[in-house]
Structure 1
């Protein structure tokens, strides 16, 4: 029981799997690409007969539209609350200092 009272847990171990980078393979791939471009050899083709070209242009902005709209709604609600709070505090200040009520 006393031994368990002073027990400190073991440190968590951090393990990273190393990645292998082969600069020779990158040079070889780049050389093959240049040679194919010079000889006019087309690369891999997709099912439609045309090479694959990702349609990325504008997708980030389209994905963020929903986020922007929700943040604008939150900003409007926050501004409305702030204005309402300022009006209430102004009314309390007026009643406290400029009226005949005494507390």
Structure 2
């Protein structure tokens, strides 16, 4: 009974096996790279130095959520808030008046 009271669990090991590892493909790629270096073949990778990814808001656009619906939701939220404040202020006025 006392032994179970002070029981400390052992640590768990963190291990993720490689799922998509293909040693033959990696070996072939290394061989191709080595041969291209020996022959002096350089693959030209064209890229734009001025490119800057613009991912802000891309998820909303992809999901079809336009700014129009966001502004409508904001407007409805503000209307509800103002209505709630007016109702509470009227209730407080009537409570303290009587």
The normalised TM-score by structure 1 is: 0.42
The normalised TM-score by structure 2 is: 0.44
